[in-house]
Structures are given as C-alpha cells and as structure tokens.
A and B are shown apart, each in its own frame.
Chain A
Amino acid sequence: MDPTLRTFIDQTINGLAIGNVYALTAVGLALIFGVANLINFAHGSVYMIGAYVGWVCVTWLGWPLPASFAAVAVVCGALGVALERFGLQGLHRKARIAPLLATIGISFALDQATQLLFTANPQSFPNPLPAERIALGGVSIGAIDVLIAVVGVSTAGILFGFLRFTQLGWALRATAQDRDAAQQMGVDVEGVNRATFGIAGVLGGLAGALVGLYFATVYPTMSFQAGIKGFAANLLGGLGNVPGSIVGGVVLGLVESYGVAAFGATYRNLFAFAILIGVLVVRPAGLFSRRRTLPPEPMTGTFVPNSRPVRVPRAVVIGGIAVALCFPVLVSDPYLLQILTNAWLLAMVALSLTLVTGTAGQSSLGQAGFMAIGAYASALLSLRAGLPFEIALIAGSLIAAVLGTLLVLPAFRLRAHYVAIATLGIGEMVNQVIANWDGLTNGVLGLTNIPPPSLFGIEMVTPRATYWYSLALLLLAALLQLRLLRSHLGRTWRAIREDDVAAQSAGVGLNRYKALAFAVSAGMAGMAGAFSGHMYSYINHETFASSTSILALTMAILGGMGNMVGAVVGAVLLTALPEVFRGLVDYRYLVYGVVLLLLVRFRPQGLLGTV
C-alpha cells in the first residue's frame, strides 16, 4: 500500500478513536444546554466523580463492569439531581447569570472534595476487558474503543427517542423552548429540570468512567480538559443538538488527528480551536443547524442578566477611591499590598469584560489571551527594542487592542454562548502560538529578566509603588471607560445589547461598534497583562491561562454585570477570599467554592445589581 495512504487511514482510525471519547463527553453537555440553556461548569466535575466511582467499584470492591457502571449511573444521576436541587433551584427565576456562577462554585467544591478524599495522585484504572486488539491498517483498536462507540451511539439514540417519543421527553423539550408556556400547559417544570440534571449526571458519570478506563487513569483534575473538549464538540455539532454533538466529537477527533499528523502533537489544540472557529464563521450555529434562527428575545442565553446596576452614590465611590489611595499609608504589610495590587490588575480585566459583556452584550472568555498579547508585546518591546516601561506598556496595550480585535472579528457573526466559547478558543490559541513561536516569544522557555515597572526612569518595585501604580492605571482605565459609556458610543453599545436587530435597523453598523468595544476591552486587558508581566519579570505561555479568563468573568458577574463599581468589588472579593482561607490549606478551594455558591444564593443578580 502507498505509505501516505496507509498513514492517512491509520490517522483516520486514531481520530475516530479519540473522537469517540469526545462525543461521549459532549452528549451530556448537549442535553443541559438544550433544556436549561446553561453552560454547566460542574459537568466536568460530575464526569470526574463518575470516573472515581467506577474506579472504586472495579479496583476496590472488585465488581464486574456492568455492576460498576450501574453504580456510576446511580451515584452520578443522584448527584445531578442534588446539584439541581441544592445548587440551582430557586435561581432560575433570578438573573440568568446566577446558575452559571453557581456551577463554577460547585465544581470548585466537588473537585477539591475528591482530591481530599483520594489525594491528587492519579490512580491506575486497569481495564478488565479482554486484551485482544483488532488490527486495522497499521494500528489496532481494543475492546474499550468498541464499548465507547456502542455506548455513545446508543445513548444518543435512546436520548433522541426519549426526547421525541415519550411524554417526559416532550415536557423536556417544551420547557426548553418556553418555560412559562410549558408551565401554563401543566408541565411540572421543576420536575423536568431535575430530570434533566439527573439524566445529564448519568451520562456525564458514565462518560467519565469510560474515559477513565480508556486511558487507564483517573485523577481529580481530569474535569477541566474534558469540559473544554466537550464544549468544543458540542459547539461544532450545534448547542443542545444531541446527535449533532456526537458527530461534532468525531469531527473534532478526526481534525485533531490530521492536524497532529501534519504539524505535530504540540499543535493539537491550536489546530482544533482554529478549525472550530473556522466552522463557526461559515456556520454560526454549528454544523447541523437547519436554519439560522434568531433567539426569541435578544438577550436570551447571553451572560447578561436582565438587571440594572445599582446606582452607587458618587460620594461612596469617591470615598472608596480615597480609602484605596490612602491604604498604603496606613498599612505597610507587603503581603496585603500585593493582594490588592493583584486585585487592581484583575479589576482592570473585569472592567474590560463589563465593557464587552455588560455593555455591548458580547460575552468573552478570552480575556487572558489579550492579557498575554499585551504582556508579551510590552515585554518584547522593552527587552529587545529597549523602550522605556511607560512606552512599552502603552504600545503593548495598543497591540493587544489591534490583535485582539482582529482575532475576535470572525466571532462577530456569533451569538450568545457561541461567542463565549469561541473567545475561550481564541484565548487558548494565543497561548499555543506563544508556546510554539520560538523565534519571537522564546517558546516554552518564556521571557526572563523583563525590566520592572518604572515611571520617568525611576523603578517602581516596592510593594507600595506597585500598588499605587496599578491603582492609578485602574483608575485611568475606569475613567476612560466611564467617558466612553457616557458618549454616543456608550448609547450605541447599549442599544446593541438591548436589541441588536433594532439597533441595526436604526442604522447602527453592528460589526464596527462591536469591534470598537472589543478593541477598548482587549487594550485594557492587555495593559493589565503588560503590567503583570513587568511585575513578575518572567512570563511564559502558562502565565495567562484560560482559568484567568474564567476568574475575570466570575468577578464581573459577581459584582453585577455591567456595573463598573461592581466589577472592582468583585475583583477585590475574589482575590481576597482565597487568601482569607489560606489557613484552611487543602480545604481552601472547597470553602471558596461554597462561599461563591452562597454569595450567588443571596445575591443572584450580582452584588451590585438589581433585578
């Protein structure tokens, strides 16, 4: 056989095998998207717990596989229901953003609890299936590949039939379409919601157990990567589309496999996200959407709650700023000053998010990518071109603004959750490019000896100096944003948020204004990144990981979306909380998750938001 053809066939089989795994992960996510219209950040944790339950049953209790899978289904189904009952119930009448935040809190708590119970070490999950392999071309597949394919396709089939032909399935779909109407028709929407989470829990748990078997390993942090790939597969197939997400998973697996074959394994994610965004540009609602339907109401499914921010009296704001400015005079502890410096820098990122998300109605999970661009641009300009800090910082922000906007440009056709995940992909891509572009960025070795922040040639390295410097930058950014929001630009952005169809028919060129919003936002995040880079003196492709994007979004929504003061309060709170809980050591993030959940419970619309 021709060697190229042989390689192609082998890589196709490799792609189908891993695509199979992605598809399984995507099915449960698709169901929750479809019914609850929610990005469930806790789904990855349920998946991980499923893997652990399976592992306990097989290796500790010595149960056969079918009994173990039954146990996984029962435990994770119950977990799904409990999650809905204790975490989310009571929130769906509230701001739409609340359940999302709640799922973030729950996932922190679940991941950490598992780690405490079973340690962070990966556990071996030996595969009890027969070891025979079926040779296909030059490669071979094992019994587990077949099992995953069978489980994936049959669950999709069963789910499809269930949604089409059973009464509960109808109720589920009706609730998904219009909650209030369904209730009026006598559907027990609470029960339906619970059933959805239960079914999704079963699916997520089974997926986790099967993937644990597939890689013969279970570990507490397996949830995050699974979540990202699951989302991507889902998006490719169309959100909430169950058979679509199976195909999406397989397509993603194939694309990755061909990408690795052509460029090497380190380009896997870069290639995957590039293709994802490429597909979305051509088909903004995924590969299998029959028609491009507009959401029934303009704000459905965005992260933006239908709430107005609390108007904070000017005196309180000025007082707060005064306290912040005087703080280092009163307190000299560098530890506290460093925490607040971090908070000011993250507040800039949260502010930049309020601008795109709360004002222009575009959600972004890619702010960390903009931070990385700003940090690298500024660091390289001062290291290689010898520019002074101030100039490098400004140039870095501008480069982040321009590059960031260009990167997000293809996503402008997208709506709601699609924008969020596309920007998450963009953030990942930025870091992957940094890791692979040795000539410019020094690759994975990162940049060392970045000069510290300075002002007019004087180095600002003491904790007090960096505190005031970062605070000043934050205030400047806030003033700029305030000025913009009060101009005609701000009005136009709000018009786009409230109803983009109406705005467009009133003559607003949507893309230009969205581009402007993203430019300002990316520039601000870039400035925060640039300052951090100089403060750290060393950065690499992991310094601004996508978890920072999620953190910034959490801060912005906790503060009350679209509310500038709220974003800053959220940033201070979420930077300080993990520090407050330092004494709890291993339990730190468990408690952090629970506190986040409680905050959402009592202020579902954000701390400074009103319904």
Chain B
Amino acid sequence: MFKTVNSRIAIASALAAVVLAACGAPAATQAPAAKQKAPAAEQKASAEPIIIGVSGPLTGQNARYGEQWKKGFDLALEEINGAGGVDGRKIEYVFEDSQSDPKQSVVVAQKFVADPRIIVEIGDFSSGASMAASKIYERGGLVQFGMTNSHPDFTKGGGEYTWSNSSTQSQLAPALAELAVATVGLKKPAVLYLNTDWGKTTYQLFEEKAKSLGAEIVANEAYLPEEKDFKSALTRVRDANPDGLILISYQADGALIVQQLEGAGLKLPIVGASSLQSPDFLKLGGKAAEGVLLRAQFLPSDPQPRIKNFVDKYKAKYNETPDFFATHAYDTIKLLKEEIKIGGATREGVKTALAQLKDVPSVIYGKVTFDKETRRVSDPTFVNLVVKNGEFVAWEGK
C-alpha cells in the first residue's frame, strides 16, 4: 500500500519536475549565452539581427487582432530587410502570445526584459494586459511601445519608457463630432459605443465637442464587447427620435449594428469612428454598410506614394485591403526602424531616439513627431470616407 502510494507521488513529482525543467531549460540556456554575445555584437555591429519583442494575442478571444498585427509586421520587415536592414543588420521580431491576459503579459514582459537581445517591445493589445506590464518594462529599462493603446493613462504607466503612436481619443473624438455635427449637420444624434476604456473615453469627448457645436445627444447606448443582439438597444434609440446614428464601434460589432437597423425599423444617416475602417466591416456588414460615413485616418485609394505603395503591396501579399490594426503594425515597424537608425540598436538608444524623431513618414499620420510630454503623436490628420459599392472612398460632402 505504502509503496504504491509513494510511487504515485514519485510519478507526479517527477512530472512536475520535468515541466519545470523544460520550462526553465530554454530560458536558462538562452540568457547567459545571449549575455555573452550582446556586448560583442554592439561593438562589431555584426550581422546579428536586431530583435523587437511583441506581446499580443495569437490565441483566445482577441487572436484576430494579433493575426492582423503580424501581417503588418511581416510586410514592413520584408521591405526593410529587403533593402539591407539597418546598418547591415536585419530586423526581426519575437511574437509571444499573451492572449491579451494580464497573467500572461507580465510573464512575457519578464521574459523580454531578461533577454538582452530585445531592444524594444511592442504591445500588448488590451489595456488590461498592456498596463499590467508597464511597470515591469519601466523597471527593466525597456521601451514599451503601444500601437493601439488609446487608454488616456497608458503612456503614464511606465514613466519615460511607455510610448504610443495610437491616436488618442482627445484627437479622434472631436474630429468625429465635427464631421457629424458641423459637416453632416446632425442636431439630435444618438450614439452607440463599445463599453471599454476606448469607447467610453471617445464617447465622453465626443459628447463634449458635439454639445459645444450645438447638437443635443438624444440617446447614448453603451454595449458589451461580446454583444451580438442590438435590437433592444436600437429600439431604445428609435424611441429617442434621433436624426442620425454615431457608431463608436469595432468592426464586427459595427457590422452587426448596421445589419440590425432594418429589423429595428430605423433608417438614419450613420457616422462611424475610424476603427470601422476595415475590410471586415465591409465583408460582415454587406449591403447594410453602404452609405456609412467614417472619420478615418487615411484613404486607401489615396494616390500619395506613402499610402499607395503600402496599400498596393499589402493587397498583392495578402489579397485584401489593410485594416486599422495591420496598418498600425506596419507603421510602427517603419517608425522603430527610424529610431534604431538614430539612436542605435540599444534599449537606451531607442528611448532617446523616440524623443528626437521628427517628421517620420507614416501611412496613418502623414508625418510623425512625438510630443515629449505625452509621449504620443502630435497633430494627427483625418479624412472623411464613405462606404460605396463595398469600398471605402473619399466623401465629397453632401
């Protein structure tokens, strides 16, 4: 009896030990080896690749955003490395899946901080996962670069080590209000917004600006990110008698809303936030998406070379038009390349270079310069788009 029990324990503990060992082995062997190599690499500027760490979702609820990121990264790196990289060194990225879960993003953060090859980190996706890791990056002296982190406090989380090229709502929301109220002329709009830090902040700033422009918001409906059935909310909106609908939504939920309008007996002009600019919104929204206006950041058919180049290459590689997330990913890699050029391929170099960057060409912003205080992009520009025949085209006005 005793013997069998003991053998079972032995098996269990052996299993645990194996797991721990397997878990430790790569990290343990990697770290010292890398430590020895790193200084040498810096001195010689050898052909060792420059590594960017990416923490983001590749599995779980938000996996699709991680997939879009990857497409943008790969395209940008193809161009950069095809042209010889930076100072003869190729740029590569290590994508660690965090499922956008703070439990895992902090683990990934520790892994990146401990790996001296990594000179800058991108991500995470959700505020919860990104901001839980900010302090770790700050303590480790590694810049955390948020591409899609629009949370107003994101860049305050890790002091000088947290930067973002995501447009903040303080820029986007007033621009959206200007389009809806001043240009389209809505006086009594209803707003549907995603109840996340992004949606809520956008809504509050939108409301402020819309009021100052003389509009009255007759209904505002926050909804859960996993919401699929909007009919009840839309019936509420209908009862408020709005003259237009503002969507502060992501692609899939935005598509569901426009599809369910008919069933709720609503026929209204719709103005949406830039996040709707995605082939998914067109694909999922189908006919119902026709005529939706967007306050977006760039026009895919824009003949300017910085945009045309990117869109053409992206279409050729992936057979679809780039969405908000892939574009951000592409832009970010291009931006980091410039940083590395200026500051060198070290952690400190990246940090100091970010403050020095001036007018870096960008698909989204035209030119990027960072505000040193907020560590965000100064003065982004916006364009008005409309969905026409299943495509986003420039909106010429009424």
Which A residues are in CB contact (< 8 Å) with B66? 120
7 pairs, CB–CB < 8 Å, chain A vs chain B: A120-B66, A217-B256, A224-B61, A313-B6, A342-B103, A537-B135, A583-B26
At the interface, yes or no: A299 with Cβ under 8 Å from chain B?
no
Interface residue? B233 (CB, 8 A): yes
Q: Are the CB atoms of B60 and A221 closer together than 8 Å?
A: yes
Within 8 A of B (CB), among A446-463: 446, 448-449, 452, 461, 463
Among the stretches A12-20, A35-43, A518-526, the one at the interface with B is: A12-20
Give residues of chain A (578-610) contacting chain B, Cβ–Cβ below 8 Å: 578-580, 582-583, 585-586, 588-589, 607-608, 610
Main secondary structure of the interface of B (DSSP, over half): helix
Smallest beta-carbon distance A380→chain B, Å: 16
CB-based nearest B residue for A432: B224
Decide if the interface of chain A is mainly helix, strand, loop or mixed.
helix
Which A430-455 residues sit within 8 Å CB-CB of chain B? 435, 443-446, 448-449, 452
Report chain B residues within 8 Å CB of A266.
Answer: 195, 221-224
Q: 3 shortest A-B CB distances, which residue pairs? A: A536-B132, A538-B131, A120-B63
Q: Are B195 and A576 in contact (CB-based, < 8 A)?
A: no
Contact partners of B28 in chain A: CB under 8 A: 331, 333, 336
* Docked pose: A338 CA to B128 CA in angstroms: 17
Are A539 and B195 in contact, with the CB atoms below 8 A? no
**With contact pairs A217-B252, A331-B28 given, residues A261 and B263 touching in the complex (Cβ less than 8 Å):** no
Q: Contacting chain A: which of B171-179, B279-287, B367-375?
A: B279-287
A260 and B233 contact, Cβ closer than 8 Å, known pairs A121-B64, A338-B106, A582-B96: yes
Decide if B239 touches A445 in the complex (CB within 8 Å): no
Q: How large is the interface on A (under 10, 10 to 19, 20 to 34, 35 or more residues)?
A: 35 or more
B128 touches A10 (CB 8 A): no
Q: Which of A49-57, A134-142, A358-366 contacts B (4 or more CB under 8 A)?
A: A134-142
Question: Interface centre among B103, B135, B139, B228, by most A CB within 10 Å?
Answer: B103
Within 8 A of B (CB), among A461-514: 461, 463
| Contact of A338 with B107 at beta-carbon distance under 8 Å, contacts A266-B195, A445-B197, A448-B153 already known | yes
* B160 contacts partner chain A, Cβ-Cβ < 8 Å: no
Binds A, one of B9-17, B38-46, B328-336, B358-366: B9-17
Is B213 an interface position by the 8 A CB rule?
no
- Whether A264 contacts B221 by the Cβ 8 Å rule is yes
Cα–Cα, bound, A139→B28 (Å): 63
Contact with B along A85-114 (1 / 0, CB 8 A): 000000000000000000000000000100
Contacts of B135 in A (CB 8 A): 452, 461, 537
A165 at the B interface (CB under 8 A): no
CB <8 Å contact, A585 and B127: no
CB-CB < 8 A to A580: which residues of B?
Answer: 19, 22-23
Most chain B beta carbons < 10 A, residue from A268, A269, A532: A268
Answer whether residue B89 sits at the interface, using C-beta atoms and an 8 A cutoff. Answer: no
Chain A 188-222, CB within 8 Å of chain B: the 1/0 string? 00000000000000000000000000011101110
Q: Are A115 and B63 in contact (CB under 8 A)?
A: yes
How many Å lie between the Cα of A331 and that of B73 in the bound state?
A: 34
Encode B41-60 as 1/0 by CB contact (under 8 A) with A. 00000000000000000111
Q: How far is the CB of A16 from chain B (nearest CB, A)?
A: 11
How far is it, in angstroms, between the C-alpha of A222 and the C-alpha of B153 when the chains are bound?
31
Let me know if B235 and A261 touch, CB within 8 A: yes
Which residues in A have their C-beta under 8 angstroms from that of B384?
none
B226 interface residue (CB < 8 Å to A): yes
B127 near A538 with CB under 8 A, answer: yes
A610 to B1 Cα, complex, angstroms: 12
Give the Cβ gap from B35 to chain A, nearest Cβ, in Å: 11
Report B196-226 CB contacts with A as 1/0, cut-off 8 Å: 1101110000000000000000000111101
Whether B230 lies near A335 (C-beta < 8 A) is no
With the chains together, A510 CA to B71 CA distance in Å?
58
A514 to chain B, nearest CB (A): 29
| Contacts A18-B231, A124-B284, A333-B114; A265 near B58 (Cβ below 8 A) | no
Residue of B nearest to A10 (CB): B235
Interface residues of A (CB under 8 A from B): 3, 7, 10-11, 14-15, 17-18, 21, 112, 115, 119-122, 124, 126, 133, 135, 138-142, 215-217, 219-221, 224-225, 256-257, 260-261, 264-266, 268-269, 310-313, 316, 320, 331, 333-339, 342, 346, 435, 443-446, 448-449, 452, 461, 463, 532, 535-540, 542-543, 545, 548, 569, 572-573, 576-580, 582-583, 585-586, 588-589, 607-608, 610
Known interface pairs A10-B235, A536-B106, A537-B132; A334-B114 also in contact (CB < 8 Å): yes
Closest to A602 in B: B11
Q: Does B156 contact A (CB under 8 A)?
A: yes
Query: Any chain A CB within 8 A of the CB of B121?
Result: no
| Distance of A1 from chain B, by nearest CB (Å) | 13
Instruction: Map CB proximity to A onto B112-144 as digits: 1 under 8 Å, 0 otherwise.
Output: 011000000000001110011011000100000
Interface string of B274-311 (1 = CB under 8 A from A): 00000010011010000000000000000000000000
CB distance from B386 to the nearest CB of A (A): 20
Q: In this assembly, does B265 line the interface, its C-beta being within 8 Å of a C-beta of chain A?
A: yes
CA A532 to CA B134, docked complex, whole Å = 14
- B5 within 8 Å of A (CB atoms): yes
Interface residues of B in 14-32 (CB under 8 A from A): 15-16, 19-20, 22-24, 26-28, 31
In the assembled complex, B184 has its CB within 8 A of some CB on chain A: no
What is the CA–CA distance of A11 and B264 in the complex, to the nearest angstrom? 10
Chain B contacts for A338, CB-based, 8 A: 106-107, 109-111
Cβ A215 vs Cβ B228 within 8 A: yes
For B346, list chain A residues within 8 Å (CB): none
